[in-house]
Amino acid sequence: DSMGQLPLHMAILGSASMDVLSRLLQLYPASKAALTDRGETAWQMAHRLRAPSDVLDLMDLKPKRTAETSTNGENPTQTGGTNLEGRTPERFSAMATREISA
User: Tens digit of pLDDT per residue, the chain (102 long)?
Assistant: 667 789 999 999 999 999 999 999 999 999 999 998 888 899 999 999 999 999 999 998 875 554 454 444 444 444 445 555 565 656 655 655 555 555
Q: Do 43 and 82 reside in the same domain of the chain?
A: no
Q: Do 53 and 73 reside in the same domain of the chain?
A: no
20: helix, coil or strand? helix
pLDDT at 50: 92
Inside any domain, residue 2: no
Residue 27, phi then psi, degrees to nearest 5: -75, -35
Range of the domain at 28: 7-59
Inside any domain, residue 37: yes
Q: Do 47 and 18 reside in the same domain of the chain?
A: yes
pLDDT at 51: 94
Exposed, middle or buried: residue 14 (CB in 10 Å: 0-12, 13-18, 19+)? exposed
pTM listed for this prediction: 0.58
Q: Do 15 and 50 reside in the same domain of the chain?
A: yes
Q: Do 49 and 74 reside in the same domain of the chain?
A: no
Q: How many domains does the chain have?
A: 2
